Structure 1
Amino acid sequence: MSSRPWLHRHRIALLIALLAVALWGHCRGSSYRNFFQHDPRQAHDYALDRRDGQTFEVRLTRNGFEWPEEAPEPGVTAFLELHVKTRVLLPSLDPSIEFRSGDRNFSQSFAPRSTGRRYLNVSPAAGPGRVDMVGRQIGWRTGPARLVVFANRPIDESTRVLVVAPHPDDAEIAAFGLYATTLADVVTVTAGDYGGKNYGGLFPETGEHYRIKGLIRTWDSLTVPFIGHVPINRARNLGYFDGTLRTLHERRPRKVPAILTELQEPGLFRRVNTEPQLATRPFESSWPALVEDLRREVDWVGPELIAAPNPLLDNHADHQYTTVALIEALEERGWDGALLLYTNHPTRAEPYPLGPNTALESLPPWFGDELPFQTVLSYPVDETTRRLNYLALEAMHDLRPFEHRVTTPFLERARDLAEEAVWRALGRHDKLPGYLYDYLRRGPRPNEIYLVLDLEQAVRLKERFLEIEAVRGH
């Protein structure tokens, strides 16, 4: 009889412990769910087997797979299509798959609670032999699996490339490795004169603040590419106003003013360019002028490849309409190169790519409509270039926590630092200020992902995007 109270207490303690574990597991994943506008149990769908690549069946075991003898080897982009599953009760914050080929190790991170079809980027493991795989808080279905391999087009230091960025820092986030290793020009469309009031402690008057912010970010867009071996005359900023590109399209051909910036001369930001033909060219904030400016840039550079945002995969209106204007310009010109479309603000998955900046980038979440594209390019970035990319992003004023140094009272800042120290000690990097959004985590990766399209496919993509916009009322 005397043992029953003891047994009863232990049952209660066990129940409390189980509830605490379940609650803890729920909380571990909740911080991520706020940033994902989709169910992580939903299968991703790029229909890679219907693209211009080769598909091979491999036997996937708990430990990896054998690279098919008949499959192409180095110089390819390769994705293993697999079905994953993560723990339900205690979801990891950073589930990942590590894989090894020869003496090289790689990893790719996934969202908590990931379930269903995913694409493991095994491009750097291409070659004869076994690809060994280890799941960290994530597993996969064994048995037959598809390996899709795309032949990469030759790209070297003589390849003529045009990188089109909607804002200062977009080129560095998405395409630094590409422009640092080719004969590239970097053209930024807007001055970046919108968004947060970063320098309000120095310039409290709104109109003046955004004029100064636009000038600083324009200068960043012209000088930072030099870290990636792009001389200042090959980096240009067209000087359009941040946050206005959708409005330019909706109100075409009318002019659209800056949103918050106080300007005596609308062409102020364009005048900052060191390239004289652009700096002295008349400026007009209208859609026809934007299309014409981009057509001039294509004619000036004569690129074989153009990197720009993907309107269907990128959620930012300026990014979407940058590429709409670019495709219109290419249609007028009849260009016959290849478009490399990147994604900086993935639709329904802003924190992509996940995990540390040493992890490989793969395809962002996509469901539903089939995307127009030909192939996928996983562009490799060597370690020195990746580290230079980190420095280039750090050099961008808009990516620095400047406001804390000027406007935050000492005690408030001390509290923030103490809170940050606690989360670091607990290993909860997801709780650190801006961790999921941080472009110094998201940007400098060992590879860059592009969907590759010809002009015909790009026109289809533009038309599909505008159809979706019309349904939404834009």
Structure 2
Amino acid sequence: MKFLFIFILSVTQLYSTDNHYNISSEKIINYAHAPVANSAPTLQDYKNIDLLYVQQNHVKEINKKIIQIAQGKKDKTYVQNNNQNYQYNFTNYKKVETPIEINNSRIYFGNLNITKNKSVFLRIYVKSSKLGNLFAPKVKITYKGKTYLQTFEEDTKGDRYINLSHLDISNNSELKIEGKFASIKNQTGYLYVFDNPNLNNKKILIVAPHPDDAEIAAYGLYSQYAKNTYIATITAGDAGSNHKYNNVFNGRKNQHIAKGKKRTIDSLTVPVYGGVHPDNLINLGFFDSKLYTMFQSKTSEVSAKYIDSKNIDIFRQYNISPLAKNLNGKSNWLSLVNNLRYILDTVKPDVIITVHPELDSHVDHKYSSVALFEALEKSSLTEGQLFFYTNHATNSEYYPYGRVSEAITLPPVYNNSIYLNSMYSHVLSNQREKVLALESMSDLRFTKQGSLFESTCKKTPHIICKDYSYMRRASRLNELFFIVDIKNLDHLLDIQ
């Protein structure tokens, strides 16, 4: 009877859904673009930008692809398409794929000339065993005396990508590959090797929808290149569901003002721990959970979800960076786009790290990138690269699968729809430092169970309790980015 109860509980959790990230079905019709700036703007340039935008807007009609990107689909907490192949289109990269044989659980690397500073992925067919229908199937990799695991969804059946970037593969070496709760038969796999970008002396701008998104996605990268990193956080994070301070402050308004203040200050201080200069950190102070509403109304001011205020200076006042002096505008979409345009034209980044709107299911995440795309169209920036990430994978909120000792590999994608020019698996040099940075972010640290380090899932069988915490999902061996050249942004959006 006890086993039957556990089994029913497990199946219920396995097929539960999360409606938190549903997006309205209203279509995006117009995509507005203001004139391109010839030089970095001043405060005076932006004083009358609302009027300029309304009078001289240039409209591009965009096709169903960008509509789907911005709208998204109903997110299910656990993947329901586990029997389909992951499908990625790498044909925009200079070398598509290299076939490689798997015989008797062995892969022999001949003269492939895989030098250092590469991101390497292996596509193979994986099929869950009967136990793999209940327990997460894993691929076990043994190379040069070290063993690594790569976990996938329960009941997996199809092509999957194994991240080998951290192995430092050399010519004429051998790799052992086995399945745990899964079978890997003799087959022809395909190896994808991407050149890692050289980020030395490159200006990096991270656009984060909320406080902590930059740390979840890219703390390892930005702390390594901290001297040239800028972080622009769009919202104050005042409406998040974790830890509402209801035991500290009376009244919902006061609780969410305190929450927004705390998270805003987090976004301006935690990156300093990673070496980023305070002058390079800015929070735009827009209200959490309101970006889609702003997008719909364009020039109308939007109130905070719980604070009953339209004044974004409630949170902007905590900025200390000189960048904040030229921030202006109100709580509307137009101001957001123009603020981002101002930052782009002032910082002039070589690399912009932002959310992939097709791979991330969170509404604010999607529309933060839509705002960035509009700002790019307005700005003077024409060169550089976009590094995309996902913190809420569209087809599975539980992604990345497995434990903190595992690498992050490609998320579930089934239709070859993702446009990219390259992939980058940034191997973390100090995983422990990222753990401390994540713990410093108040909304990640505090849960109903207390610290995420003390999550009850840590002591519970995987089949009964799934750990959705970012301590498991983000503090990994690597950080993963989908690269698109800024000059190819129209291809990403598929603009006609």
Give the TM-score taking structure 2 as reference length.
0.80
The RMSD of aligned alpha carbons is 2.6
Would the alpha carbon gap of residues 430 and 296 (structure 1) be closer, same or farther in structure 2, given more than 3 Å must change? farther
Q: Any idea what the Cα deviations from partners look like across 1:397-430, whole Å, max 9, x if unmatched?
A: 111235567xxxxxxxxxxx9x94xx766x5145
Q: Which has the larger radius of gyration?
A: 1
Answer yes or no: is 1:194 the counterpart of 2:239: yes
Asked whether the equivalents of residues 132 and 154 of structure 2 are also in contact (C-alpha less than 8 Å), the reply is no
Please tell me the residue identity of whatever aligns with 1:116.
G
- Measured in 2, the distance between the counterparts of 1:246 and 1:95 equals 37
- Measured in 1, the distance between the counterparts of 2:463 and 2:279 equals 40
* TM-superposed deviation, 1:353: 0.4
Answer yes or no: is 1:295 the counterpart of 2:341: yes
Identity of aligned residues (%): 30
From 192, 201, 209, give the equivalent of 2:255.
Answer: 209
Q: Can you give the 5+ residue segments of structure 2 that lack an aligned partner in the other structure? A: 17-76
Provide the aligned length of Structure 1 versus Structure 2.
Answer: 427
Would the alpha carbon gap of residues 73 and 363 (structure 1) be closer, same or farther in structure 2, given more than 3 Å must change? same
Would the alpha carbon gap of residues 424 and 143 (structure 1) be closer, same or farther in structure 2, given more than 3 Å must change? closer
- Aligned counterpart, 2:139: 97
Answer yes or no: is 1:268 the counterpart of 2:314: yes
- Aligned counterpart, 1:437: 468
Would the alpha carbon gap of residues 142 and 207 (structure 1) be closer, same or farther in structure 2, given more than 3 Å must change? same
SS in 1 for 2:317: helix
Asked whether the equivalents of residues 9 and 464 of structure 2 are also in contact (C-alpha less than 8 Å), the reply is no
Would the alpha carbon gap of residues 210 and 134 (structure 1) be closer, same or farther in structure 2, given more than 3 Å must change? same
Answer yes or no: is 1:341 the counterpart of 2:385: no
Would the alpha carbon gap of residues 27 and 80 (structure 1) be closer, same or farther in structure 2, given more than 3 Å must change? farther
SS in 2 for 1:269: helix
From 179, 183, 197, give the equivalent of 1:135.
Answer: 179
* TM-superposed deviation, 1:449: 0.8
Shifted more, 372-381 versus 257-266: the winner is 257-266
- Measured in 2, the distance between the counterparts of 1:53 and 1:241 equals 43
Q: Any idea what the Cα deviations from partners look like across 1:224-261, whole Å, max 9, x if unmatched?
A: 11121112221211111111111111111222221212
Asked whether the equivalents of residues 90 and 420 of structure 2 are also in contact (C-alpha less than 8 Å), the reply is no
Please tell me the residue identity of whatever aligns with 1:32.
L
From 320, 328, 332, give the equivalent of 1:282.
Answer: 328
Asked whether the equivalents of residues 164 and 186 of structure 1 are also in contact (C-alpha less than 8 Å), the reply is yes
Give the TM-score taking structure 1 as reference length.
0.83
- Measured in 1, the distance between the counterparts of 2:376 and 2:346 equals 13
Q: Aligned ranges for residues 81-96 of structure 1 at < 5 Å?
A: 81-89=123-131, 91-96=133-138
- Measured in 2, the distance between the counterparts of 1:368 and 1:256 equals 36
Asked whether the equivalents of residues 291 and 368 of structure 2 are also in contact (C-alpha less than 8 Å), the reply is yes
* TM-superposed deviation, 1:142: 1.6
* TM-superposed deviation, 1:280: 6.3
* TM-superposed deviation, 1:67: 2.0
Would the alpha carbon gap of residues 225 and 334 (structure 1) be closer, same or farther in structure 2, given more than 3 Å must change? closer
Please tell me the residue identity of whatever aligns with 2:252.
T
Asked whether the equivalents of residues 26 and 90 of structure 1 are also in contact (C-alpha less than 8 Å), the reply is no
Please tell me the residue identity of whatever aligns with 2:397.
E
Would the alpha carbon gap of residues 110 and 37 (structure 1) be closer, same or farther in structure 2, given more than 3 Å must change? closer
Shifted more, 233-242 versus 105-114: the winner is 105-114
- Measured in 2, the distance between the counterparts of 1:284 and 1:378 equals 38
Q: Any idea what the Cα deviations from partners look like across 1:342-368, whole Å, max 9, x if unmatched?
A: 000111200110111110000110112
SS in 2 for 1:377: strand
Would the alpha carbon gap of residues 379 and 394 (structure 1) be closer, same or farther in structure 2, given more than 3 Å must change? same
From 105, 108, 116, give the equivalent of 1:74.
Answer: 116
